Chains A and B, each alone.
Chain A
């Protein structure tokens, strides 16, 4: 009985043992978790395809569930831009640095939307993928990284709309600072990655995070200078707001693409420093609590 059974099984699924692809062919050492974070770049590289798969999955699911996903991605910032334009631009007459207010606020909303959607999905990414975390090994850091990569698609779509608006209202970049535009977006990515790493890890233990984030999302666009220029505020307030790297992201991005007043170099430096500290702290906390995710989730 057993002999025939084997034959059937081998015929169905048997494969030559030689057909192995080269994988992570090294010795895996398993040790108790240390409190010290480790960053195994070689391992991360080994799993880079999985990162792509996670991003692809999130996009595929989103655009499948909402048949006009692309339209939704643009509709939200557009609607907010219209409301802000009417209230802040027309009635309150906020200073927009000499640019048509609608373009000004839509430009500011693009990095803001990127930040906010990355953060809202990112903070819950480990819990949302609990079935993976408890059933299979891969560097967990791929999950938060994937959640800050996915919204780039919306950002690109929004940018196309922004270009259209710029052409329509005849607002053009002022000069060579346009080359710095990607750098400000990178600053947004660094900021949100640090936050997502830290918050997603905390969320494994304390589900409060999921409730806290929407609260901050209500006030943060105002504190990040989406509807106004920083120059409209007293200097010491500018410095306080610069502790939030998103103020520099938005001011700098608008300076690069719309030639609004440039952010103060010192304040920009402060923002960059805060973003780097956030990234380092988030990564350290994430990596050191990573070995216990499966136990605590």
Chain B
């Protein structure tokens, strides 16, 4: 193991929930509160509840290591990253970072709509910690990489959102820190953009940079990181090889496993018309499935509750491969969804035939929509609601035949070949 780049020792962060809500509090509220406390002679009495967003996190990261941070919402990933980037201070514990740190918590931080693309490159670059000399030297490269050369002297408020993100990412991609801390940047942008992000992260890792990468994208973590830490309720639950940690996480059903339940109707994805109940991956007999045989059909099942009758709704499925590309989108086109749906609970299962998908991890975004022509209204869309792994047992009867090497492609259909011998 080389020199340590990051040492974290018992990092903890406490938030007062009351403080969150009172963030727009007025001076009057505070004064009244203070007077009341004095009146009661009870200084310790506090209305707000305390939560430990991070609770004693320790780890060491060697120079050149690429670490993935995973965990469910509220597990403390972002809080840990915010502490390491010095945006906020820990309540307890300490950390040491050796090297020039670059952080990327969003793309386009500080972009100003009135300024031109070129001006924003300087602004954003400086905010991310680049020197002006450095930016000037790389300006041509940044502009070229962004692909918005023609509009570089146009205010970015006239950019399409795609151009905006490309330019912002291009600046970030030319950061050259020794240690890079990256949050869920990949959650924005189209598949092409996400692929570029991943590619950039990969080349950073290979060039010996130390990287901490927070993501909900398990495939990306497994692919890019040597090591992963699983956080749960502010604590390190698992620290080890990224493949193992990701696998354990998926099995635990905390993240996008093959079985997700939203027990609380009020917080489940949805609106006043439709609420998601659960989503799962099943085999032909209705049994739960994590790993799918490439040759067998797989069923994606969602249960949702229609709270109010009278609106035709229909379920929709979007399957995303491990690179973030959309493999396909599909509605249930059955005529039953053209009638106004009665209220009640529905379970819809989409069957993906065997010998269609290639090997690898797929995640499914599930949605329930209604069409108010020409618009599509999504009552909810749960990204990566469930995930499953397609595997080939290698018995020679999939499209790969008896070949055992890598087999590229989003799909792996078993085609019908006709052959004539002449």
Contact = CB atoms under 8 A, between A and B. Distances in A.
Q: Are the chains A and B members of one assembly?
A: yes
B371 interface: no
A8 B199 contact: yes
B90 interface: yes
Residue of B89, B178, B408 most packed against chain A (CB within 10 A): B89
Interface stretch (B127-135, B230-238, B247-255): B127-135
B260 interface: no
Residue of B30, B109, B110, B134 most packed against chain A (CB within 10 A): B110
Contact of B23 (A9, A15, A296): A296
Interface in B393-414: 406, 408
A51 B126 CA distance: 9
Nearest to A6: B202
B91 A137 contact: no
A27 interface: yes
Interface residues of B, number: 70
A12 B145 contact: yes
Contacts of A138: 127, 129
B100 A29 contact: no
B114 A30 contact: no
A44 interface: no
Given A9-B200, A9-B202, A50-B126, A32 B89 contact: yes
Contacts of A13: 145, 173-174, 196, 199-200, 203
Contacts of B23: 205, 296-297
B62 interface: no
A292 B84 CA distance: 14
B223 A2 contact: yes
Interface string A54-81: 0001001100110000000000000000
Interface stretch (B206-214, B264-272, B276-284, B303-311): B206-214
A296 B19 contact: yes
A5 B199 contact: yes
Contacts of A137: 85-87, 103
A292 B14 CA distance: 12
Residue of B11, B114, B198 most packed against chain A (CB within 10 A): B114
Contact of A208 (B27, B84, B126): B27
Contacts of A15: 174, 176, 207
B94 interface: yes
Interface string B80-101: 0011111111111111111111
Interface of B: 11, 15, 19, 23-28, 30, 82-101, 103, 105-106, 109-110, 112, 114-115, 119, 122-123, 126-129, 131-134, 145, 155, 173-174, 176-178, 195-196, 198-200, 202-203, 206-209, 223, 406, 408
